[in-house]
Amino acid sequence: MPPHTTPADGPSSGAPALLPGAEPWSRPPRPREGEPRVGVLVQHGFTGQPAAMKPWAEELSARGWAVEVPRLPGHGTTWQDCNTTGWDDWCAEVLAAHDRLRATCDVVVAAGLSMGGALVLRLAADRPDAVDGVVLVNPAVATHRKDVLALPLLQHVVGSFPGIAGDIAKPGVSEQGYDRTPLRAAASMMRGWAGVRRDLGRVTAPVLYLRSDVDHVVDEASEPIITAGVAGPVTRVALPDSFHVATIDHDLPRIVSSSIEFVEGLPSVRTQRLG
């Protein structure tokens, strides 16, 4: 057990205020002449918030694409608030953002960082005909850590462990995530992982897999499971100069250029462009 834990705190009284940068962010499609209306869902990870995804989202929006950056329930407020939410709540938020994009776009791509990657894989497995591509940055659907085996019991007696936010190589950059890891929410996330792993074969869309060479949060367990498990083709891109939160780290330009190239090369984009 980590050296410092907190009791299993209940929810804070009243609705907690949003932290700076936690507001969801969206832009409508502005397609260029002859181009399809493209939409991209950009999803933050566990204990993170939209601020870590906004620089990437802004670059995608500059292409004229619609962008949705949802705030997951229980995120961008307090870790105690996060402990009152779980996998089903987060999936519902991702699905709602996807539906907003589908209402205005011809092509929809789902992108996610860390747990956000697991959530967009869940979406792509559940809606294979409505997700045209998947972009993953250091996604998590498994771990080699043995201490997580105690989560089903610990979540009832311990509120949180030390946080996982802030794994960034670039000096002076903050993820603005929680400094504590809410254990009830973490246990729910890992239950959700099991379903994602089981249904990876239903992910038929092309996948862009971006992985940091050094990641102190997500270990190597997830990559072979995802890349071997999905049914669609996988393109892997290494991120040599970033840690876990690569979306605001040194490799952001590589993420931007790779994801733009990936989206523009999707069969659904090429077909509609020619049509």
Q: Which of 26, 61, 114, 258 is catalytic?
A: 114
CA separation, residue 189 to residues 87, 119, 261 (Å): 5, 10, 31
Verify whether residue 244 is a known catalytic residue. yes
Both tokens of residue 162?
Answer: 């030390």
Per annotation, catalytic residue among 167, 215, 249, 251: 215
Residue by residue, DSSP assigns 11-80 as: PPSSPPPPPTT-S-EEE---PPTT---EEEEEE--TT--GGGTHHHHHHHHTTT-EEEEPPPTT-SS-HH
- Spatial contact of 50 and 27, defined as CB atoms under 8 Å apart: no
Q: Could you tell me if 64 and 40 are in contact, meaning their C-beta atoms sit under 8 angstroms apart?
A: no
Tell whether residue 262 is among the known ligand binding residues: no
How many angstroms separate the CA atoms of 88 and 86, rounded?
6
Q: Rounding to the nearest 10 degrees, give the CA dihedral for residues 99, 208, 168, 80.
A: 30
Please pick, among 106, 244, 249, 258, the residue that the annotation labels catalytic. Answer: 244
Q: Is 12 a catalytic residue?
A: no
Helix (H) or strand (E) holding 161: strand 158-162
CB 136 within 8 A of CB 207: yes
CB 122 within 8 A of CB 195: yes
Confirm whether 215 is a catalytic residue.
yes
Instruction: Return the number of other C-beta atoms located less than 10 Å from residue 188's C-beta.
Output: 22
Contacts with 213 (C-beta within 8 Å, 6 or more apart), sequence order: 238, 239, 240
* Residue 115 annotated as binding site: yes
Indicate which residues carry an active-site annotation: 114, 215, 244
Annotated binding site: which residue ranges? Answer: 46, 115
Question: Residues at the annotated binding site for substrate?
Answer: 46, 115
